[in-house]
Amino acid sequence: MSRTDSPNPIFLVILMKKKDGITAFGEVKNDTALAGIPVIMLTSVNERLVFSFTSDDMEIYYGKAPEAFMKKPFDPPTLLNTGKELIKG
């Protein structure tokens, strides 16, 4: 991710191969150049790992929560609308 591109918003999946989305979220929100960019977390962790994980859990762990938290499977138009709303502010 480039700090000069200013992506808006950032989509992160919790279970990723090289770096998990939770770690990436912490890095984004602790980077002053990226911290203001809204984050949408996407997850199927509840079904795949059989435990609950929510935006509230991220708030407790990081002191910050993603601007949106969506469980898979999600409806593509809902994802698109969520992204549009976050861009609007």
Number of domains within the chain: 1
Looking at residue 66, which CATH number applies to its domain? 3.40.50.2300
Over its C-alpha atoms, the chain yields an Rg (Å, rounded) of 13
Query: Please, are residues 37 and 6 in contact by the beta-carbon 8 Å criterion?
Result: yes
Exposed (0-12), middle (13-18) or buried (19+): which is 34, by Cβ within 10 Å? middle
Q: Residue 46 falls within a domain, yes or no?
A: yes
For 58, the domain range is 10-88
Q: Residue 3 falls within a domain, yes or no?
A: no
E strand residue ranges, 1-89: 10-13, 39-43, 68-71
* pTM, full prediction: 0.77
> The tokens of 78 are what?
């809902």
pLDDT in tens, 25-61: 989 989 998 888 999 998 876 555 555 677 787 788 7
pLDDT in tens, 2-17: 555 666 889 998 877 8
